[in-house]
Amino acid sequence: MISLHERINAIRQLEPVAPIERNKLNIEDLQVGGFLKIKESAFQVKSLGYYLDVKWKDFSARKSEYWVTELELLNLHNGVVKYFEWERDDELELSITEEFVKLRDIKYSGSSLTHAHLDSIADNEEGTVSFKGVNYHYVEDDTWAGRYAKEKRKDGAPMRAYEFEGDDDTFLTIETWHEADDERPDREAFLSRAVSVRDIEILQLNRQ
């Protein structure tokens, strides 16, 4: 949660483009200090990050580059920080975090999910876990490896993302972060949901 002072400071930087001009603005051009609305909530972009899609086995580069852009967003209404991602495949795909999840609260076969469980699910290319009573089903086609950095670099921090789709139309992502010779990578998990392009309105591309 961000302080009230920081929220007020962010709001003072908002100089929105005239409504008639907003449909000309593209989220792919949004920079740090810019503002957008997602449905009825307004956000300021606090930082950008970039994931480069790489090979699963050794994190080496692919022949063609594919990037996922992450925006750290400050909700101007309540001070909550959210993470928003966009990528362009055949079309623009958008998602936003709902909440971060403690790994011990994710259940698999009646017990807390372990790294061994995660490896087994990936090896078998199927499996179901649960969180707060919702079942999440492993999606092999969406599971991927990347390198993350705050700039568009090919030598960013290596990570793997195990993707699960929930029965309630949310998504569970479990990320493992791999340092050199690290046999027990750090893990984090979060829930997200897809966002329609129709629900996005760019108010200001960057800090004025």
pLDDT score recorded for residue 44: 97
What pTM was computed for the model?
A: 0.92
pLDDT per position in the chain (208 positions), as tens? 788 888 999 999 999 999 999 989 999 999 999 999 999 999 999 999 999 999 999 999 999 999 999 999 999 999 999 999 999 988 999 999 999 999 999 999 999 999 899 999 999 999 999 999 999 999 999 999 999 999 999 999 999 999 999 999 999 999 999 976 666 789 999 999 999 999 999 999 997 6
pLDDT score recorded for residue 172: 98
pLDDT score recorded for residue 179: 79
pLDDT score recorded for residue 90: 86
- Cα distances (Å, whole numbers) of residue 204 to 26, 37, 45, 144, 167: 10, 10, 10, 32, 36
pLDDT score recorded for residue 207: 75
pLDDT score recorded for residue 117: 95
